[in-house]
């Protein structure tokens, strides 16, 4: 979420005064100290998760990352993933519906400046929509059930229109049913990597004008049973880092743009050597400076840390840090790059860590904030 002043009268008066009298650097520091974010999660009992949330939350944080206030801005069912538009005007959210009588989930578009008024609500194309990616005014939604990724285009007034769909071929021979868990746009936005947990493949497309076109190399085959879930690109687009839910590994993929070819460069475990407990991975992010890579372990309940060689793309293990919660479904690095916030789904808490930009290591701040079944945090 974009930095913005907290909606408190004393702060507003102080900022107004500073606009007239303070130096730009002082004003910038005051704004930076008042940050906010959105939290999505589960709101009902789905069998595998007993949702206690009330919808989409807006939380306010001070300069030390402490959550000082929360409010429910949208009472949606299972908004398990939320995403803010680049200009901060719109908030997009899933409704992850997957019960037998529910044939599809939904995507919601909310107008932030108009009290989070709902502008659009459209079917996601299948059950259990679980991820949203934005590329300009184009929106990609991944559905965990049904093997469908939907593409929407957003008009200037915020409304969205369905423009395309990718459906995993019906005759596709896979280990499991298709489970699309995320669509990940390259830094320049035209190359899309869709993680399919069911087929152990990364499907590749170009995106333009709201349409997906299969890439010259239609997919990257990963190890059988890997279960690719989320991914993140290096800033130069030369490498894609994929976290695999089922075998608790990370794949480093090299991207040869000239040859239009992606290959697996490295595979590394997310777990300590000798760990025998149950585990599944979830989220993955690079540090703001690109020097470190982080992934979440659900079961081991930790954030794994690696250093990144920006020349080769390869990663080296640095440390594990306990998340101080159960089932770290999602985490986010604050815009400053110096704080990392973890949404611990099953323990119902958000924990905060300082991030050392030189060593990559995390230090728990003591911030342990209770909130109903969080599965996503978005700055």
Which pairing describes strands 239-244 and 249-256: parallel, antiparallel, or unpaired?
A: antiparallel
Residues 23 and 124 in one domain: no
Predicted pLDDT of residue 321: 99
Which residues lie across from 133 on neighbouring strands?
140
Spatial separation of the C-alpha atoms in residues 43 and 97, rounded to whole Å = 11
| Any domain includes 159 | yes
Predicted pLDDT of residue 8: 42
Residues 23 and 137 in one domain: no
Single pTM value for the model: 0.91
Question: How wide is the angle at C-alpha 130 spanned by C-alphas 235 and 38, nearest 5°?
Answer: 70
| Any domain includes 87 | no
| Any domain includes 69 | no
Predicted pLDDT of residue 26: 39
Predicted pLDDT of residue 174: 66
| Any domain includes 44 | no
Residues 29 and 122 in one domain: no
Residues 12 and 104 in one domain: no
Checking 144-148 for CB contacts under 8 A at 24+ apart, the result is: 144/96, 144/98, 144/179, 144/180, 144/181, 144/197, 145/98, 145/177, 145/179, 146/178, 147/177, 147/178, 147/179, 147/180, 147/196, 147/198, 148/124, 148/180
In the chain, the number of structural domains is: 2
Predicted pLDDT of residue 36: 96
Which residues lie across from 202 on neighbouring strands?
195, 220
Spatial separation of the C-alpha atoms in residues 253 and 238, rounded to whole Å = 8
How confident is the prediction along the chain (379 residues), in pLDDT tens digits per residue? 555 444 444 444 444 444 444 444 433 443 445 699 999 999 999 999 999 999 999 999 998 999 999 999 999 999 999 999 999 999 999 999 999 999 999 999 999 999 999 999 999 999 999 999 999 999 999 999 999 999 999 999 999 999 999 999 876 666 779 999 999 999 999 899 999 999 999 999 999 999 999 999 999 999 999 999 999 999 999 999 999 999 999 999 999 999 999 999 999 999 999 999 999 999 999 999 999 999 999 999 999 999 999 999 999 999 999 999 999 999 999 999 999 999 999 999 999 999 999 999 999 999 999 999 999 999 9
Spatial separation of the C-alpha atoms in residues 222 and 242, rounded to whole Å = 10
| Any domain includes 206 | yes
Residues 16 and 160 in one domain: no
Closest C-alpha among 242, 249, 257, 252 to residue 308: 252
Does the CA dihedral 40-46-51-55 come out positive or negative? positive
Spatial separation of the C-alpha atoms in residues 254 and 61, rounded to whole Å = 37
Q: Are 207 and 135 in contact (CB under 8 A)?
A: yes
Predicted pLDDT of residue 30: 39
Predicted pLDDT of residue 172: 63
| Any domain includes 365 | yes
Residue span of the structural domain in which 10 resides: 1-33
| Any domain includes 67 | no
Residues 236 and 128 in one domain: yes
Spatial separation of the C-alpha atoms in residues 160 and 209, rounded to whole Å = 13
Q: Are 31 and 3 in contact (CB under 8 A)?
A: yes
Residues 224 and 349 in one domain: yes
Residues 23 and 123 in one domain: no
Domain with 129 in it: what CATH number?
2.130.10.10
| Any domain includes 276 | yes
Q: Which two tokens stand for residue 25?
A: 């650097």
Residues 104 and 16 in one domain: no
Predicted pLDDT of residue 83: 99
Residues 135 and 21 in one domain: no
* Ramachandran angles phi, psi of 180, nearest 5°: -80, 120
Residues 133 and 17 in one domain: no
Residues 200 and 294 in one domain: yes
């Amino acid at each position: 979420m974009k930095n913005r002043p907290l909606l408190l009268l004393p702060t507003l008066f102080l900022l107004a005064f500073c606009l007239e009298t303070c130096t730009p650097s002082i004003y910038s520091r005051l704004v930076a100290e008042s940050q906010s974010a959105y939290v999505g999660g589960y709101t009902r009992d789905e069998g595998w998760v007993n949702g206690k949330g009330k919808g989409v939350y807006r939380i306010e944080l001070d300069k030390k990352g402490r959550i000082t206030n929360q409010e429910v801005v949208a009472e949606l069912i299972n908004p398990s993933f939320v995403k803010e538009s680049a200009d901060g005007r719109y908030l997009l959210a899933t409704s992850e519906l997957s019960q037998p009588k529910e044939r599809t989930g939904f995507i919601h578009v909310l107008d932030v400046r108009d009290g989070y008024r709902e502008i659009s609500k459209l079917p996601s194309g299948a059950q259990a929509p679980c991820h949203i990616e934005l590329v300009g005014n184009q929106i990609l939604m991944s559905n965990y059930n049904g093997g469908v990724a939907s593409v929407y285009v957003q008009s200037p007034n915020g409304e969205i229109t369905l423009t395309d769909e990718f459906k995993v071929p019906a005759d596709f021979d896979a280990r499991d049913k298709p489970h699309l868990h995320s669509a990940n746009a390259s830094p320049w936005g035209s190359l899309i990597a869709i993680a399919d947990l069911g087929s152990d493949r990364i499907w590749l497309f170009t995106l333009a004008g709201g349409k997906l076109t299969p890439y010259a190399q239609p997919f990257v085959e990963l190890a059988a049973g890997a279960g690719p879930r989320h991914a993140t690109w290096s800033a130069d687009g030369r490498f894609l880092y994929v976290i695999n839910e089922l075998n608790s590994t990370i794949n480093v993929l090299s991207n040869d743009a000239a040859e239009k070819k992606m290959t697996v460069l490295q595979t590394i475990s997310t777990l300590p050597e000798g760990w025998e407990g149950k585990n599944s991975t979830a989220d993955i992010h690079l540090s703001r400076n690109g020097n470190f890579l982080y992934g979440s372990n659900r079961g081991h309940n930790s954030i794994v840390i690696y250093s990144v060689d920006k020349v080769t793309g390869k990663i080296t293990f640095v440390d594990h840090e306990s998340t101080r919660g159960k089932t770290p479904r999602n985490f986010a690095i604050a815009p400053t790059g110096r704080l990392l916030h973890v949404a611990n789904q099953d323990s119902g808490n958000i924990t905060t860590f300082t991030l050392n930009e030189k060593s990559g290591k995390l230090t728990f701040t003591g911030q342990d904030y209770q909130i109903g079944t969080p599965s996503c945090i978005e700055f």
